Amino acid sequence: MSDGPPLQNGEVVVFDHVPSQATFRRAALFLLLISLLPTIIFAVVFPDTLWITLPLFLACILLVQERFKLGRHRAWITNQRIIIQDGTSIDLADVTDVKARSVVVGVRYGADRAMQPLYYAADGAALADAIETAKDANL
């Protein structure tokens, strides 16, 4: 990960969203607990095969893949825009709605009302407030 994105003239980073390991762990635990039900069903239906492990194996594969790309979910909220690690940039003037959920903060923007999720926020409400505050200060 880099120290920060390239900024335009007069642009200042207001909030640095670094994905939280604790939040990722909670989401991982939830996924593993949810995958226990199909594992139990497979154990009843296929008691003498290795198919029992399939749901947990798939959940673990998904979690390993998500863990390796966790750093790609980083974002910087500046006084002019939201810059996401993958290079996506959203003008704060285009942001129409910000919703904080358990591990995801959704930013709705543009005329087509596209939704950009910001994953694994340690404090989703604080991230949503930082976006709203930067947007209000920009107007």
Q: What is the pLDDT of residue 33?
A: 94
Q: What is the pLDDT of residue 127?
A: 92
Q: What is the pLDDT of residue 1?
A: 45
- Assess contact for 84 and 19: CB atoms under 8 A: no
Strand runs labelled E in the chain: 13-17, 75-78, 81-84, 89-91, 95-100, 104-109, 114-119
pLDDT per 10-residue tile (average), the chain, 139 residues: 76 90 90 94 91 92 90 90 90 91 87 88 90 84
Q: What is the pLDDT of residue 69?
A: 85
Q: What is the pLDDT of residue 8?
A: 85
Q: What is the pLDDT of residue 78?
A: 92
Residue 99 parent element (H or E): strand 95-100
Q: What is the pLDDT of residue 76?
A: 93
pTM for the structure as a whole: 0.78
Provide the 8-state DSSP code for 89: E
